[in-house]
Amino acid sequence: MADDKLRVGVYTNTHGVHGEIKVYPTTDDVKRFKKGLPLYLDTGKQEIPLKVERVKYFKNMVILKFEGIDNINDIERYKGHDLLVSREHAVPLAEDEYFICDAIGSDVVDENGVKLGVLKDVMQTGANDVFVITLTNGKEALFPVIPDCVKDVDTDAKKITVHVMKGLLD
């Protein structure tokens, strides 16, 4: 996925025979899907530009219909692929918020500036996110994204400052 685009959902299945698809949203704001929203379907080889024609919400899914996709055969083969949005159409961030993809790859340092490792992934658990850090010794550590533990995330400098709570590096 290119850095200029953000994942907002995963195409999980078709819905009917007229080209509608079910999307599992991977965005904090599910209501962000609106008529006219330009999206990109990431096929792995290319990004196909699409424009939302119609939106419905069903349980934890979003049902989307795209302009010019009127048949199940036009879209079915892309099942399982990501839907992306350009940064210009991304949800505005509040102060102290960041996109996870911008934090991945950041150096993780303790409060004294000593490098502990690199942020490899972020697990979203429901209660709070958890940073998956590849330590300088090659092992992995899990750090809860809570104020007591994660002190600063600077995506511009690609640096995350953490407080090493007891037991996190054991």
Is the pLDDT score of 116 beyond 50?
A: yes
The token pair at 111 is 């409060």
Q: Where do runs of H (alpha helix) occur along the chain? A: 72-75, 100-103
Question: Sorting pLDDT into bands at 50, 70 and 90, what band is 65?
Answer: very high
User: Does the domain made of 5-89 have the CATH classification 2.50.20.10?
Assistant: no
- φ, ψ of residue 32 to 5 degrees: the values are -70, -20
Tell me the CATH number for domain 100-162: 2.30.30.240
Q: What is the pLDDT of residue 27?
A: 84
**5-89 and 100-162, same CATH topology:** no
Residue 36: pLDDT band (50, 70, 90) is very high
CA distances from 48 to 19, 74, 126, 153 (A): 15, 12, 31, 33
Give mean pLDDT, residues 152-166: 93
Residue bearing tokens 């007229």: 18
pLDDT surpassing 70 at residue 2: no
| Per-residue pLDDT band at 3 (split at 50, 70, 90) | low
CA nearest to 52, candidates 21, 12, 82: 21
Res 164 pLDDT > 60: yes
Domain residue extents for the chain = 5-89, 100-162
Q: In the structure, what pLDDT confidence band is assigned to residue 98 with cuts at 50, 70 and 90? A: confident
Average pLDDT in the 135-145 region?
Answer: 95
| Percentage, residues of the chain above pLDDT 90 | 71
Question: To the nearest whole number, what is the mean pLDDT of the chain?
Answer: 91
More confident residue, 124 or 140: 140
